[in-house]
């Protein structure tokens, strides 16, 4: 049975760890703001202590709502150290805001063999001006060169949704990782 506990908890940032030693797996759930107040040293230290008993690292970044340059720098340094403790990393969920940074900084997703799961994609409805996000499996998207954005309909008016961003910029993160 997995053991779940808070590694870091501040008013604007938290990291919850779930260790399943029987499955040799560690899951980290990040939420809030990845900024200058997001101290990842305790998380890194915990991961380092688990490297002998845990082989798989799963990371959920689906609740990261804000990033700034100090947060991006801290994340890149953290991931650069931590991913080498394990046999790669599986990103379960990646928020829209995290993906914006990952499309600008390839190091945000670490090793090219790290796997991507669900991606929060921004959509806009021209029919009713509704903006929404949808979770899409990275494997469904294809590559940056051959993007396959799944068709979605607006929940209000059923009109087709369109990507609410610049396609080549937003999906640049796809050019660095197998899905």
**Domain ranges for the chain:** 3-176
Q: Give the separation between CA 84 and CA 47, rounded to whole angstroms.
A: 10
> pLDDT-based confidence at 63, cuts 50/70/90?
very high
> In the predicted model, is pLDDT for residue 46 greater than 70?
yes
Q: Is there a contact between 34 and 67 (Cβ–Cβ < 8 Å)?
A: yes
Q: What is the pLDDT of residues 110-158, one digit of tens each?
A: 988 899 999 999 999 999 999 999 999 999 999 889 999 999 999 999 9
Fold of 3-176: Transcription Regulator spoIIAA (3.30.750)
- Which pLDDT value is given to residue 92? 97
pTM of the model: 0.91
Averaged confidence pLDDT in the chain: 91
Beta strand ranges found along the chain (DSSP E): 3-9, 13-20, 25-34, 56-67, 89-94, 115-125, 131-137, 161-163
- Which pLDDT value is given to residue 178? 45
């Amino acid at each position: 049975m997995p053991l779940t506990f808070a590694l870091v908890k501040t008013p604007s940032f938290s990291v919850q760890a779930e260790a399943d030693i029987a499955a040799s797996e560690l899951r980290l759930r990040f939420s809030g703001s990845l900024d200058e107040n997001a101290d990842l040293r305790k998380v890194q230290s915990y991961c380092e202590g688990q490297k002998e008993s845990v082989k798989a690292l799963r990371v959920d970044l689906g609740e990261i709502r804000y990033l700034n340059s100090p947060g991006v720098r801290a994340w890149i340094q953290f991931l650069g150290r931590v991913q080498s403790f394990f046999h790669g990393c599986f990103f379960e969920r990646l928020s829209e805001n995290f993906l914006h940074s990952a499309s600008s900084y390839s190091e945000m997703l670490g090793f090219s063999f790290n796997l991507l799961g669900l991606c929060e994609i921004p959509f806009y409805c021209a029919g009713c001006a509704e903006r929404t996000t949808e979770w899409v499996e990275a494997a469904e998207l294809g590559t940056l060169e051959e993007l396959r954005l799944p068709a979605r309909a607006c929940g209000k008016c059923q009109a087709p949704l369109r990507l609410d961003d610049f396609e080549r910029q937003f999906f640049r993160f796809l050019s660095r990782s197998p899905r």
